[in-house]
Amino acid sequence: MKFQAIDQFAANLKPSTQAAVYDGSKKGYDARTKTLFDHFEDPNRLRVVAGEIKQHVVENLDTYLPQVEAKLQANGVIVHWAATAEAANQAVLDIMRARNAKKMVKSKTMVSEETELGHFLEKNGVECVETDLGEFIIQIDGDHPSHLVKPIIHKNRRDIAVSFEKHGLGAYNDDPQTITQRARVHLRKKYLEADVALTGANFISAESGRLVLVTNEGNSRFCLAAAKTHIAMVGIEKILPRDRDLALLLNLLARSATGQQLTVYTEFITGPKSAAQPDGPEEMHVIFVDNGRTDVLASECREILRCIRCGACLNVCPVYRQASGHAYRSVYPGPVGAVLTPLLAGKNFPAFADLPKASSLCGACNEVCPVNIPIPDLLLRLRDKGKQAHVPSPGMPPMGPWALLASQPTVWKAALVGGKIINHLPTKLLPIPALRAWENKRSLPEWKGGDFRKWMKGRARPLGAPNVSRGGPSGPALPGNIL
């Protein structure tokens, strides 16, 4: 019996990695809940409204894209467009070559992870240094980020100390303060030598053309204080209609991502530096990147384009917590990745059609999403898409016997009566591969039988009576095999 790919990955995960991912994501989730509910009367309303704003943008991109382009140009920004990852990378390289630029510092951007910009530039003789501490460690390790806002959630301090020693950043020392201090010293040289700074954008306002960047470390601030050219790679869905909408989304973003009220550095950029300012970019470029987003827009899953990359759905997801980000085999892990990855894959959809199946559809991702994306619905739509396209499902247990049982009332009734037998069977030894795979990590609960209709009748209450919780002092207990 073959496992599903994500199950297999989780089964092979080192216990220390699994513990790190579990602890890190749980901490993020707890902090999020506390700040949102401590601070706001109705935090749920914030995310519903934010979702409506982003859905409006997604469904009106044909108006907003030309509008934001005109604003940016009026602000003195040079606007480029890239339909594919290759075009986006080439646009960056062309800008650099035209200025004879050889060195780049890069602030964390998910879209450049999508296009694998770093590898592309290195191949073309450009030094490209990641400046976010986590991303820098990923880069020297030749690894991949495994979380949207905590890229090295899967590593511990000893792993990092070994990498630093290997790359000439001092003798082995696993004290986080020392690790950070060494990165500080190493990276400030890189900022000051760089010709070009590359960033992404968290939001871009159609009203003013303000491009918003958030970091805690201050790396994008340093990038934009040291380099003479600024390039921002921006997904076409990053627009917000008005400046005041930024206040709503910023209130949600940091709280959802890390439980902070506001990220330490929240930057509003409209163009090159002013004339009197000695430091910072003399020119600014924005590259609008499609790379599959218009396919998502044309699909039945366009709601996923609301995503603001906060990582809250990862932190809460029981599957992500067990499997870690790398199990999702792409730039976007967790519930958002299970939707976005197969969609962005285009023709390569079948290779990722298993991802939407790796979910119990518990709905927690939807409940925490700051833009209220109905992720479970989208997962179902993608499962259907896989079914319609006849994509095989390796590792899925055969559902034939279950279908037979559930569609024949007499067989079903007989099974209910005979179900108790299962308590006396050594189920772990049964030669049924699907059952063995399942029982490998779990044990079957005791079969208690029961009669749902009888239970339901006993539970009847007069209209208007208080809704007593199931199994409460005055309510009938639920038979053991339900829930």
262 is an interface residue for another protein by CB under 8 A: yes
33 is an interface residue for another protein by CB under 8 A: no
Nearer to another protein, 279 or 451 (CB): 279
Nearer to another protein, 20 or 121 (CB): 20
Q: 251: helix, coil or strand?
A: helix
Distance CA 240, CA 242 (A): 6
Nearest to 393 by CA among 385, 401, 381: 385
> How near is the Cβ of 56 to another protein at its closest, in Å?
4
> How near is the Cβ of 84 to another protein at its closest, in Å?
8
Residues 158-187 that bind another protein (CB under 8 A): 160, 176-177, 179-181, 183-184, 187
Which stretch, 254-262, 366-374, 395-403, 452-460, contacts another protein (CB under 8 A)? 254-262
Q: Which long-range contacts does 295-301 make (Cβ < 8 Å, 24+ apart)?
A: 295/343, 295/344, 295/346, 296/340, 296/343, 296/344, 297/58, 297/61, 299/343, 300/381, 301/339, 301/343, 301/378, 301/381, 301/382
274 is an interface residue for another protein by CB under 8 A: yes
436 is an interface residue for another protein by CB under 8 A: no
280 is an interface residue for another protein by CB under 8 A: yes
Task: Find the binder of another protein among 11, 264, 396, 422 (CB under 8 A).
Answer: 264
DSSP bridge partners of 130: 106
| Structure token pair of residue 104 | 């780049």
What is the DSSP secondary structure assignment for residue 393, as one 8-state letter? -
| Structure token pair of residue 453 | 């209709």
Nearer to another protein, 87 or 478 (CB): 87
Residue 374 contacts by C-beta under 8 Å, 6 or more apart in sequence? 303, 366
Distance CA 129, CA 106 (A): 6
> How near is the Cβ of 152 to another protein at its closest, in Å?
6
Residues 128-157 that bind another protein (CB under 8 A): 131-134, 137, 150-152, 156-157
206 is an interface residue for another protein by CB under 8 A: no
Nearer to another protein, 243 or 367 (CB): 243
Distance CA 260, CA 2 (A): 42
Task: Find the binder of another protein among 144, 182, 221, 329 (CB under 8 A).
Answer: 221
Nearer to another protein, 109 or 131 (CB): 131
Using alpha carbons only, give the angle 252, 46, 251 rounded to the nearest 5 degrees.
Answer: 25
> How near is the Cβ of 68 to another protein at its closest, in Å?
12
> How near is the Cβ of 87 to another protein at its closest, in Å?
6
Task: Find the binder of another protein among 30, 70, 172, 279 (CB under 8 A).
Answer: 279
Helix, strand, coil tally for the chain in percent (to 5): 55, 10, 35
Distance CA 238, CA 285 (A): 16
Print burial letters for 405-440: b (CB count within 10 Å at least 16), e (below 16). eeeeeeeeeeeeeeeeeeeeeeeeeeeeeeeebeee
For the chain, how many residues are written? 483
Using CB under 8 A as the binding criterion, the count of chain residues that bind another protein stands at 99
φ, ψ of residue 266 to 5 degrees: the values are: -115, 115
Nearer to another protein, 34 or 428 (CB): 34
Nearer to another protein, 6 or 252 (CB): 252
Task: Find the binder of another protein among 128, 198, 236, 371 (CB under 8 A).
Answer: 236
Task: Find the binder of another protein among 113, 130, 290, 354 (CB under 8 A).
Answer: 290
Nearer to another protein, 33 or 270 (CB): 270
Distance CA 316, CA 365 (A): 7
> How near is the Cβ of 13 to another protein at its closest, in Å?
17
Nearer to another protein, 53 or 434 (CB): 53
Distance CA 444, CA 432 (A): 14
Nearer to another protein, 213 or 382 (CB): 213
Q: 71: helix, coil or strand?
A: helix
Task: Find the binder of another protein among 4, 6, 13, 24 (CB under 8 A).
Answer: 24
Residues 37-76 that bind another protein (CB under 8 A): 38-42, 45-46, 49, 52-53, 55-56, 58-62, 65-66, 75
| Structure token pair of residue 2 | 């073959």
Nearer to another protein, 241 or 342 (CB): 241
> How near is the Cβ of 52 to another protein at its closest, in Å?
4
